[in-house]
Structure 1
């Protein structure tokens, strides 16, 4: 009988540790609204300055979907303002994108928008 209680206590302890680690992992991630109160718009390229990002943080892109979008691109797409074929395009106007470790690049691929600074480069630790 004592052995059964001990096994149950060990299982409860393991479960509690797992739940706490999940809680602390989610507590470390942050949510950033791209562009602040102005949202995802022109001249956004400098918005990342002074901010620290981590893998798992969420970027929220707020914009009018009939006139903007968000496209996840690579460095070449960011530099050239061209979305690769088959690239992930977000169009909801309230997109939430989790950052992956390393470099993350986003542009608006409506004609002229990226060239007008509607792009961001985020490095997540």
Structure 2
């Protein structure tokens, strides 16, 4: 499987994170700083954002990715070896219990319900 180095969020799971200059800082109409301040603020924001992000990912990214890889391996292991077999086990046993319960209900309640039905059937409109 090749990794796409251009589109690193193909499923758009981090669309809620807006970290561009225009999404964070904005000057409304009628109040503007000097152009040189605005341009240098833009450059400074982007420079520091990139530097700090790259440093954090350099020092912690691989370790954090390894940790998440382990977490999802444990989740996959648990589902493959524990959760799914347990679900199947319960499904089989609960099916038997369901049949037994249904049989008991029919044996106990059907005669009573049929008796009540025959009793009330005797009252007919005249």
TM-score, normalisation: structure 1? 0.29
TM-score, normalisation: structure 2? 0.28
Task: Specify which structure has the higher proportion of strand.
Answer: 1
Task: Specify which structure has the higher proportion of helix.
Answer: 2
For the pair shown, the structure with the greater C-alpha radius of gyration is: 2
Choose between structure 1 and 2 for higher RCO, CA contacts under 8 A separated by at least 6 residues. Answer: 1
